[in-house]
Structure 1
């Protein structure tokens, strides 16, 4: 495929949202209304930065009348009702009254969409969500495919059916129900596609090679730029166009840094370094045919997991969780548990798909079966229990943190992460193009 040439220079990020004090959790959960410029949170105005693809004009959309909202919960900041609302999260885009902000509505009321075929794993702990907004899904699908095909040439023509079957637009709309605009959703969609291009091209189904470490490191420089001398800088810049993985990373990150604050961008880079470290561990085990102990596998999966996706929930939502709140050990534990639980959900839904892939593909049921001497069915059902234990821990730790830190930005972020966890399960359970279940029930 021909090189696309260097990307245009992108403007730097706009000013970070203003910081506020810490009103009560009840204030944080109060009903809100949105405009294109701001979202009211507990009687305060939280600016949201306008975000749109570089070089394009915003798409005009008709504003919908403000819906009626449920009253703010009464009682102390750490009341059970308030905490339950945080953990429950919004139940899809059809339930506007649960949203923190709503700055973009469909131009017309669409016909009710038929529910996607869904087959949740029996016994897997999860929360159902409403069907994603079909208007957003359709338009986001058009935009993300245009980016992937025309802008970065992320995949060869023979992969088009796989790209369509991935249903990235339905995935992102389900996971980010509070995204103010389609442009915010595109931030997440580009990064999701780019991460999957890297995984497919460098790591999956026989793509792993002895030089995978070097390839991943050079791809990572598309996210975390090299600072070198004038003599060698041009060669590095030219390398960013050398394959689909680097083209995708570079472009997705340029859009992201144009919308995120410096702290949000640095947070994402850190989590992507974690992801790549996990890729390297899995590649090393594959190369040496090493089957890890169950605890070792779970340690690897804490790095090779979905964590970079929910960690950007505030950027996609149009606000910022301040660095000092994100860095709290309790917040880091919540984010880690969310990433671990959702990744094991992926292990379980992709189990049959991976059995058909070349070689021995490590996932939690396979490792449990081999290391603990269980049958395939017994190991799979035990893996379901491990996932459920992590989900319960995630919800308990979220509730404890919400009670201990009654800052509306922390509450909003926790709610966004919970919504991402639920949307991620919805996508796996309903993506029958990619996933089938074993006959264990």
Structure 2
């Protein structure tokens, strides 16, 4: 299948200016040095002047539905708005009176799932059903016909995962369905590795290192002698996770630039290292300290998903900008916050599995001597702190590096964070909340 055509990069700053008015960005310019001082960095270069009042909004890709268009600007709006915790008023890029109501003030249809009470999050519009339907159709055909991912008896679980709805919600700026499929195949492949190697469907901590290493060669190819190369190539079809990794990565590298592909390989290696740490604790029945668990979760987390937001969006964040320490911190915080969302929404599901399944509430209860309820509520607090830190650092980076692709990438990461929460909250097939309120 040919690689999708990549659209040229577009600046999100004109879009922001048309949405908020020129005075908003002008205000951001005037406070840029104050923000740099607040975060401890040296004064940065002067920002460009704000676009004139009345600038035309950035064009919307032709196959984006009207319902998606507001979501495309919501991420950068939130980044420019800045964090909302105590002591963060000086880091805001939008005046307080221009902010939308807090999430707690927004009603939620009970049929779509209840949000964790007290959780800091940003609601999104329901993902475009036309796109969801097409992505769902294509990903199931890929899973069945191209990689033979699962046996017939797992079909309900595959459908219940609702991966099409997940990825459409997380990537509102994807210009085409095929761009969405890049993320969707990788998401399904990563979950196949997690289920079949680590957890639900025959997974085990015993021998996990060998399985992960061999699967990783489907992402990061082995270069060996002619005698042994055919054996390795054959091994890539040996089981469902390797078949899925190989195929998903082949599609991805056709669309991605070399640095984007290498970036993904790096973050997948991080993910696999996190799997191994958790497996080591499982083999010794060890409950780590809370900080140790959070360190593991910085690796065993969703980071590979938002890190490809530019490829899925049809543009490229250059390697030197992606590698900036402040950008890496933003991506890490986004991954950490979204992973704690998973811990919170999957808490009751994991309690029903055999043995002890580590998640943040379980670790806090064990290590800090709290009740299950208090440990869960403290985990909500940990998530909220991570979210505020993510937004603080993203707002500061948006000011420190006013490059159009940086602005767009930050918007994409923020959209992924919001879409991830929406999927967890609304996926009542998989998740339900504990009765702690």
Deviates more, 1:152-161 or 1:219-228: 152-161
Partner of 1:39: none
CA distance in 2, matches of 1:82, 1:138: 45
CA distance in 2, matches of 1:208, 1:200: 10
Partner of 1:342: 338
Partner of 1:240: 236
Give the deviation of 1:117 after TM superposition: 1.0
CA distance in 1, matches of 2:145, 2:123: 35
Q: Among 317, 328, 336, which residue is 2:313 paired with?
A: 317
Q: Among 14, 22, 26, which residue is 1:73 paired with?
A: 22
Q: Which secondary structure does the structure 2 equivalent of 1:30 belong to?
A: helix
Contact 1:118 1:429 in 2 (8 A): yes
**Are residues 204 and 99 of structure 1, via their aligned partners in 2, closer, same or farther at CA, if it must alter by over 3 Å?**
farther
Q: Among 200, 204, 209, which residue is 2:195 paired with?
A: 200
Give the deviation of 1:15 after TM superposition: 10
Contact 2:9 2:405 in 1 (8 A): no
What pairs with 1:12-411 in structure 2 (closer than 5 Å)? 28-31=12-15, 70=19, 73-74=22-23, 76=25, 79=28, 101-105=60-64, 117-205=112-200, 207-411=203-407
RMSD in angstroms over aligned alpha carbons?
Answer: 2.7
**Cα offsets for 1:348-397 (capped at 9, x unmatched):** 00000000011100000000000000000000000000000000000000
Q: Which secondary structure does the structure 2 equivalent of 1:228 belong to?
A: coil
CA distance in 1, matches of 2:365, 2:23: 49
CA distance in 1, matches of 2:279, 2:229: 30
Partner of 1:6: none
Where structure 2 has 5 or more consecutive residues not aligned to the other structure, the ranges are 33-55, 69-107
Give the deviation of 1:104 after TM superposition: 1.8
CA distance in 2, matches of 1:73, 1:266: 38
**Are residues 222 and 82 of structure 1, via their aligned partners in 2, closer, same or farther at CA, if it must alter by over 3 Å?**
farther
Contact 1:30 1:73 in 2 (8 A): no
**Are residues 147 and 14 of structure 1, via their aligned partners in 2, closer, same or farther at CA, if it must alter by over 3 Å?**
closer
**Cα offsets for 1:8-34 (capped at 9, x unmatched):** xx87x79998789xxxxxx642139xx
CA distance in 2, matches of 1:400, 1:162: 41
CA distance in 2, matches of 1:278, 1:372: 23
CA distance in 2, matches of 1:120, 1:344: 14
**Cα offsets for 1:140-192 (capped at 9, x unmatched):** 10001000111101111111000000000000000000000000000000000
Contact 1:310 1:335 in 2 (8 A): yes
Give the deviation of 1:403 after TM superposition: 0.6
**Cα offsets for 1:106-158 (capped at 9, x unmatched):** 6999xxxx976121000010000001001001111000100011110111111
CA distance in 1, matches of 2:155, 2:31: 44
Contact 2:205 2:282 in 1 (8 A): no
Contact 2:6 2:314 in 1 (8 A): no
Q: How many residues align?
A: 373
Contact 1:17 1:320 in 2 (8 A): no
Question: When the two structures are superposed, what TM-score results if normalisation uses the length of structure 2?
Answer: 0.80
CA distance in 2, matches of 1:100, 1:314: 17
